[in-house]
């Protein structure tokens, strides 16, 4: 999955133009988004109203940890424990694109 960047990110009710997610942010799926396994495709998907987004393995692994409890730094550390290398900047860019598309939220506070 590679959503196109829009240059703005949403955090709760505020918007931070051009700013990505930080290591202390606690991302979670937006209320209208569900992470599910599609048996037909044999892949994880994001289900939104009238939209299905097919995820690759690493995207699904990141989103499984977006529960509002894990920080971005904890997500990177968890993935680093599972795999040999996890580029911190790529995880942040991925989450920034999802926040911009309103698939993921960063709660205020």
What does the pLDDT look like over 1-56, one tens digit per residue?
444 333 333 334 343 444 589 999 999 999 999 999 999 999 999 999 999 999 99
Measuring CA to CA, which residue among 83, 88, 58, 56 is closest to residue 72? 88
Q: What angle do CA 10, 105, 44 make, to 5 degrees?
A: 130
pTM: 0.78
Q: Quote the CA–CA distance of 17 and 38 in Å, as a whole number.
A: 34
What does the pLDDT look like over 66-96, one tens digit per residue?
999 999 999 999 999 988 888 889 999 999 9
Q: What angle do CA 89, 95, 104 make, to 5 degrees?
A: 165
């Amino acid at each position: 999955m590679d959503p196109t960047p829009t240059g703005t990110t949403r955090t709760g009710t505020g918007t931070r133009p051009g700013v990505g997610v930080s290591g202390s942010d606690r991302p979670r799926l937006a209320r209208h988004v569900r992470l599910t396994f599609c048996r037909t495709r044999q892949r994880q998907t994001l289900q939104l109203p009238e939209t299905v987004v097919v995820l690759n393995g690493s995207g699904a692994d990141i989103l499984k940890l977006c529960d509002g409890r894990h920080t971005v730094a904890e997500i990177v550390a968890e993935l680093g424990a599972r795999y040999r290398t996890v580029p911190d900047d790529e995880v942040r860019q991925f989450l920034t694109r999802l926040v911009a598309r309103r698939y993921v939220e960063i709660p205020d506070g």
